[in-house]
Structure 1
Amino acid sequence: MSLSPGLDPARLRRPLTLLLAALLLSAAGLFAVTVARLAFHAGWNRTIAGLAAGRDLPVVDTAPARVLLARAHFLMIRDRLDEAQPLVDRIARTGEPAIAVAALYDLANARLALAISHLERMQIDPAVPQVRLAKAAYRAALTRDPGFYDGKYNLDVAMRLVRDFPQIEGSAQDETQEAPKRLWTDLPGLPRGLP
């Protein structure tokens, strides 16, 4: 086979070799990025598995939402709701609505369970704010997912525990007077004692 007089085979091999080297380098770079990404996710998966196993593992603020949810759940099941609240707030600000709904619902359930345990011991005063906070979390979850049936059901249960009464706004004249003493608690039911 004869080549045209102006084409040198050595000249053709050099660009092909450079092209092949560039393809190999880009494939190696893509492979390195994929391995790094898998190692990154494997680290977070180990953290989630450790939290699920009951180990108290710290989580950085920049962790993915699913890792923050695992840490928040770890704190919630140990009645450390004040520590879990900032994590849930951070999750709610992320752009992942499904994880935000799960975090808000989980926190609301933990608060409602704490309130019910207070009510079983007839401790009404600490139960009322927990129910109100649970209702707020259920409403926030339902704002993100209006069709969330479990959230609607649990909100209904919480609404039956502590009623939301409309607040009557007084005039400026009423502010100078002393506020009347509350006669009834916010919890529904019959008062004890004589009529």
Structure 2
Amino acid sequence: MATENTTDTSLSLTGLVDETTYTVTVVAKGDGVNTLDSEAATSTFTTTAVPALDAPVNLALDASADPPSESSFSVSWDPVADATGYTATASADGEGDLPGAIDDSGTPIKASFSSLSADTEYTVSVVALGDGTDHLDSTAATLTVSTTVHVETLDAPTGLASSNVTYNSADVSWDAVEGAESYDVTYEVTPEG
């Protein structure tokens, strides 16, 4: 309990705890000789919750970075007033939350993600962090981003050779290429010259 004396008809109370009900009692003080103290007037109020920061806005693929690849992408968003920092995570079915590397040195704020799975849809969540006293963390802003399909270029066939050549046929052969499902074989008359 705290008691303060004032000659004004209002008083700002500070240092209160959020989401707490307070009872205020005001007594008009007399001089003790000609006027006596009044009876107490009582009122209650409940303090509000500490406000959360606004969620980040304009969350999108980072236009200044490379487009999404099979294992990485970058996003950006506008700064949030009073934020002390940010968390950015990417998650996909069957995978845990992967943290992004945040760059908050400029505008917009950026986060890059790497070591991702190819051909996978990720949900990116960005939260503005409050100081815990005057502002709580924001709700998450989200964005869906897909990594590209992993594509490998096969090695060129080696050991290409012809055999059993006659006036109207020939056999050609080559070494197998790992991962090849079939081969396109093109042949044409070689121009003289």
TM-score range (shorter-chain normalised) is under 0.3
Kindly indicate which of the two structures has a greater share of residues assigned to strand: 2
Q: What is the TM-score normalised by the length of structure 1? A: 0.24
Q: What is the TM-score normalised by the length of structure 2? A: 0.24
Kindly indicate which of the two structures has a greater share of residues assigned to helix: 1
